[in-house]
């Protein structure tokens, strides 16, 4: 199958699984919530959605393995692996905040070649394939053209389980509050990255994330003309636990601030 066909099949699957998740919004109850670890919540919705995704993805690229958040399938592929977050923004979902997404990427030899983020609050389907561009509901998207930090809107995720770097993080935020239009915390890293890809945010950064949170979104940003790295400008952002993504115009300036505050 060509990358374009694979991407279309993943989009169709995400739309179907998205319908399931949306239907559960009014059904899921407090007693369905399990605590995996400090402030890390899960319910049957995440698990069932993941099972549905794995069943569908297995048909699209049968040779591929899985890196999936809820671990409902752990088979590793030699060349191809699906990197799946069935519900990114579970806390939002469980609290009735309408910002949460399905995030699916296909990795070939450790790098994404397909990425799909379906944000369910606005029913926005973001997709990208390597060297094929990035799209929102089928229309090509691009990162912001803004080059002025004072006119920028940034996004991040607040630490909620690992507070080791919180002082440096708060110091960084103070600087960014003074230098930008603001910093948002949507509660879904996949959505944050998709919003960088379509130019709503100028940059996004967060530490403590896993590959499934950022795999699809990173490809979206790159295919939309933006840049992605870890906090030192390096490439260890899938498994290194920190990511920074930004538009061509502001990536470098934000990275310098990030690097100076978080890596000293």
Q: Is the dihedral angle over the CA atoms 28, 30, 32, 36 positive or is it negative?
A: positive
Number of residues that bind ligand IPD (CB under 6 A): 13
- Taking contact as CB under 6 A, which single stretch among the options 87-95, 114-122, 215-223, 246-254 is the one that binds ligand IPD? 87-95
Contacts by residues 14-17 (CB-CB < 8 Å, ≥ 24 positions apart): 14/53, 14/102, 14/104, 14/116, 14/118, 14/125, 15/118, 15/125, 16/52, 16/56, 17/49, 17/52, 17/53, 17/56, 17/86, 17/102
- 203-232: which residues touch ligand IPD (CB under 6 A)? 206, 208-209, 213
Q: Which helix (H) or strand (E) holds 104?
A: strand 101-108
- 156-185: which residues touch ligand IPD (CB under 6 A)? 157
Q: Which is nearer to Ca ion, 100 or 169 (CB)?
A: 100
> What mask of x and - would describe binding to ligand IPD in positions 40 to 79, judged by CB under 6 A?
----------------------------------------
Work out whether 188 is an interface residue with ligand IPD (CB under 6 A). Answer: yes
Q: Which is nearer to Ca ion, 25 or 232 (CB)?
A: 25
d(CA 16, CA 62): 20
Work out whether 73 is an interface residue with Ca ion (CB under 5 A). Answer: no
d(CA 226, CA 181): 20
Residue 202 near which of Ca ion, ligand IPD, none (CB within 5-8 Å, type-dependent):
none
């Amino acid at each position: 199958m060509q990358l374009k066909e694979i991407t279309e099949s993943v989009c169709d699957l995400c739309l179907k699984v998205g319908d399931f998740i949306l239907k559960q919004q009014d059904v899921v109850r407090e007693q369905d919530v399990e605590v995996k670890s400090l402030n890390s919540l899960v319910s049957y919705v995440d698990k069932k959605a993941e099972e549905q995704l794995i069943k569908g993805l297995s048909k699209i690229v049968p040779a591929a393995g899985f890196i999936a958040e809820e671990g409902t399938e752990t088979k590793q592929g030699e060349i191809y692996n699906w990197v799946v977050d069935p519900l990114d923004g579970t806390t939002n979902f469980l609290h009735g905040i309408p910002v949460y997404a399905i995030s699916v990427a296909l990795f070939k030899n450790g790098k994404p070649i397909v990425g799909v983020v379906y944000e369910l609050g606005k029913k926005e389907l973001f997709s990208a394939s390597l060297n094929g561009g990035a799209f929102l509901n089928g229309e090509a998207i691009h990162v912001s053209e803004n080059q002025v930090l004072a006119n920028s809107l940034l996004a991040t995720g607040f630490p909620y389980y690992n507070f080791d770097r919180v002082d440096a993080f708060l110091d960084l935020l103070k600087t960014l509050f003074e230098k930008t239009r603001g910093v948002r915390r949507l509660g879904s890293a996949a959505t944050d990255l998709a919003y960088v890809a379509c130019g709503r945010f100028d940059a996004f950064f967060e530490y403590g994330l896993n590959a499934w949170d950022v795999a699809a979104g990173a490809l979206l940003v790159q295919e939309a003309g933006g840049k992605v790295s870890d906090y030192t400008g390096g490439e260890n952002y899938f498994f290194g636990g920190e990511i920074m993504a930004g538009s061509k115009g502001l990536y470098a300036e934000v990275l310098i601030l990030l690097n100076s505050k978080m890596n000293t």
